[in-house]
């Protein structure tokens, strides 16, 4: 690139990358964030001070070598930049898109308060996309086969991280996935306008090229039990996620037109209902959609609903914007797309018509009281504040709990009161010898990076166990 800015140029304004126009994107499922071109990436990379104590890298749950890869982007050595990220993360095009950098690496960037942080997530995404499109990504080398066999249950980020790490160390890994597509929430939950399917498929395919066996349509606990798997595998890692919807327990939740976010997102994303009638999966949202919740799942549900072209989408959240657990960028995107936010509002009853279809939602206004167990101020209903919102459909996105099948079919596996598998934090060891677990089935709904972090920690412990057996 000619006229490349010399490093460091921290005071150049932070570049957040280009985005699809908010009105145009309301009617398509194409990616919203368009990212950087080479020139923008190199200019953004020039802002980095290459801090010796690496605060950004230390704040990253998987310790991506941030200053080094950003420096390589500035030098336009993108193959080397991609390899540098690969040293600690095999899924940079995914993480560059969906990780909450604003709470991890970018929050720790020394430039944050004066000029805005280096756009680390956008640079990671650019590097991974460039390397993928230009054939610069080679699967990492794997050690000679050890003869040890590991089964991973589920193919979400936590199992993918375990599979990658253990395969590199020469162990034979088989992944069992209940659905017909690999990737867990990355495929069935997060919409294509945030994470295109081909990105997930490419990064999953990397594992296949490394020799990981990926089996789909196998529900462990039903098609085959953990005890049966134990006969064929030295170690089992459970990464079955948290896909069990939390109901509101409000009267009327069984009316036609009321969905759990899980059903709604699976239908729209995984089954591609938005292409109906070109695909078999129908959908119904009607003219007025209400979404309940304040996390990423609620934002994704509301933004998917908006793309199905109703007249309006209203999001109800019982606290204020400051307490919303969703990524800031996703809240902004949702607002730009015209979703109406009703803060300090909770549904108390769903009313239907004579055919059992949802007609309107009785709501109550809340105020914030003393902090609850989560440290956030508890929402308290305001007396006499009831009001109604007309609605044809409603999506409940107020949280998920661990998938229960394995816990119910595996004797001796210790679980907590929410159904999460209890593990030793540093290793992922469960109450049963040779069985490890991590990600959302343990944490009960966290982030992609924490799921990967658990997977990497368990992989270290599993390798230690298997090496002891080998010697």
Binding site residues, ligand SF4, CB under 6 A: 48-51, 55-56, 66-67, 70, 109-111, 118, 120
Is residue 218 packed enough to be buried (19+ CB in 10 Å), middle (13-18) or exposed (0-12)?
A: middle
**Least Å from the CB of residue 437 to ligand FAD:** 9
Kind of pairing between the strands at 345-352 and 358-371: antiparallel
Helix axes 38-45, 120-133, angle to 10 degrees: 140
Question: Among ligand FAD, ligand SF4, none, what binds residue 99 when CB lies within 5 to 8 Å by partner kind?
Answer: ligand FAD
Contact with ligand FAD (CB under 6 A): which of 49, 51, 270, 446? 446
Using CB under 6 A as the binding rule, whether residue 99 contacts ligand FAD is answered as: yes
**Least Å from the CB of residue 347 to ligand FAD:** 20
Alpha-carbon distances of 440 from 4, 112, 157, 365, 431, rounded to whole Å: 43, 30, 10, 32, 17
Using CB under 6 A as the binding rule, whether residue 399 contacts ligand FAD is answered as: no
Using CB under 6 A as the binding rule, whether residue 300 contacts ligand FAD is answered as: yes
Q: Which residues contact 438 (CB under 8 A, 6 or more apart)?
A: 158, 162, 237, 238, 239, 423, 428, 451, 454, 455, 457, 458
> Which of 96/439 has CB closer to ligand FAD?
439
Question: Among ligand FAD, ligand SF4, none, what binds residue 244 when CB lies within 5 to 8 Å by partner kind?
Answer: none
Q: Which of residues 278-297 bind ligand FAD (CB under 6 A)?
A: 296-297
Using CB under 6 A as the binding rule, whether residue 406 contacts ligand FAD is answered as: yes
Q: Which residues contact 439 (CB under 8 A, 6 or more apart)?
A: 154, 156, 157, 158, 159, 239, 241, 446, 450, 451, 454, 455
Question: Among ligand SF4, ligand FAD, none, what binds residue 49 when CB lies within 5 to 8 Å by partner kind?
Answer: ligand SF4
CB-based contact 212:372 (threshold 8 Å): no
> Which of 41/56 has CB closer to ligand SF4?
56
Tokens of 327: 């990524």
Handedness of CA 207, 213, 218, 224 (dihedral sign): negative
Phi, psi of 19 (to 5 degrees): -130, 155
Question: Among ligand SF4, ligand FAD, none, what binds residue 184 when CB lies within 5 to 8 Å by partner kind?
Answer: ligand FAD
Instruction: Tell me how far the alpha carbon of residue 457 is from its chain's centroid.
Output: 19
Instruction: Encode burial over 162-200: b for 16+ CB neighbours within 10 A, e otherwise.
Output: bbbbbbbbbbbbbbbbbbebbbbbbbbbbbbbbbbeebb
**Least Å from the CB of residue 265 to ligand FAD:** 5
Alpha-carbon distances of 161 from 178, 304, 460, rounded to whole Å: 18, 28, 11
**Residue span binding ligand FAD (CB under 6 A) among the ranges 17-25, 153-161, 383-391, 418-426:** 153-161
> Which of 71/330 has CB closer to ligand FAD?
330
Using CB under 6 A as the binding rule, whether residue 163 contacts ligand FAD is answered as: no
**Least Å from the CB of residue 185 to ligand FAD:** 3
> Which of 55/286 has CB closer to ligand SF4?
55
> Which of 17/239 has CB closer to ligand SF4?
17
**Least Å from the CB of residue 73 to ligand FAD:** 22
Give CA–CA dist 454/443, Å, rounded.
10
Mask 198-237, x = binds ligand FAD (CB under 6 A)? --------------------xxxx----------------
Using CB under 6 A as the binding rule, whether residue 269 contacts ligand FAD is answered as: no
Which residues bind to ligand FAD, rule: CB under 6 A? 98-100, 153-159, 176-179, 184-185, 189-190, 218-221, 239-241, 243, 265, 296-297, 300, 327, 403, 405-406, 439-441, 446-449, 451
């Amino acid at each position: 690139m000619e006229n490349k800015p010399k490093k460091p140029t921290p005071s150049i304004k932070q570049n957040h990358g280009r985005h699809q126009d908010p009105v145009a994107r309301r009617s398509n499922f194409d990616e919203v964030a368009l990212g950087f071109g080479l020139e923008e990436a190199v200019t953004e990379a020039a802002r980095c001070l290459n801090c010796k104590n690496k605060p950004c890298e230390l704040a990253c749950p998987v310790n991506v070598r941030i200053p080094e890869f950003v420096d390589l982007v500035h030098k336009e050595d993108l193959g080397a930049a991609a390899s540098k990220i690969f040293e600690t993360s095999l899924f940079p095009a995914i993480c560059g898109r969906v990780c909450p950098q604003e709470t991890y690496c970018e929050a720790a960037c020394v430039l944050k308060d004066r000029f805005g942080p280096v756009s680390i997530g956008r640079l990671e995404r650019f590097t991974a996309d460039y390397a993928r499109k230009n054939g610069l990504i080679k699967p990492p080398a794997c050690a000679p086969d050890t003869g040890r066999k590991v089964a991973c249950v589920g193919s979400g980020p936590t199992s993918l991280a375990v599979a990658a790490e253990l395969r590199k160390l020469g162990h034979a890994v088989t992944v069992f996935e209940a659905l017909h597509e690999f990737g867990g929430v990355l495929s069935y939950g997060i919409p294509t306008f945030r994470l295109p399917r081909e990105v997930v498929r490419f990064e999953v395919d990397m594992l296949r090229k490394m020799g990981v066996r990926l089996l789909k349509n196998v529900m462990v606990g039903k098609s085959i039990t953990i005890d049966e798997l134990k006969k064929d595998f030295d170690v089992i890692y459970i990464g079955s996620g948290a896909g069990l919807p939390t109901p509101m327990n409000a009267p009327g939740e069984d009316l036609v037109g009321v969905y759990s976010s899980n059903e709604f997102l699976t239908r729209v994303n995984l089954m591609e209902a938005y292409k109906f009638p070109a695909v078999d999966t129908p959908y119904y949202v009607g003219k007025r959609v209400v979404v309940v919740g304040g996390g990423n799942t609620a934002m994704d549900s509301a933004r998917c609903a908006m793309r199905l072209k109703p007249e309006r989408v209203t999001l109800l959240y019982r606290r204020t914007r400051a307490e919303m657990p969703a990524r800031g960028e996703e809240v902004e995107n949702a607002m730009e797309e015209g979703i109406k936010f009703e803060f300090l509002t909770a549904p108390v009853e769903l009313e239907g018509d004579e055919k059992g279809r949802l007609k309107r939602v009785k709501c109550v206004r809340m105020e914030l009281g003393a902090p609850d167990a989560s440290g956030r101020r508890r929402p308290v209903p305001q007396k006499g504040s009831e009001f109604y919102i007309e609605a044809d459909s409603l999506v409940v996105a107020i949280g998920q709990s661990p998938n229960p099948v394995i816990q119910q079919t595996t004797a001796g596996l210790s679980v907590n009161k929410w159904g999460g598998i209890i593990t030793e934090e540093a290793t992922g060891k469960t109450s049963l010898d040779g069985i490890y677990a991590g990600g959302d089935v343990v944490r009960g709904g966290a982030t992609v990076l924490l799921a990967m972090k658990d997977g990497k920690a368990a992989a270290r412990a599993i390798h230690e166990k298997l090496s002891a057996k080998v010697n």
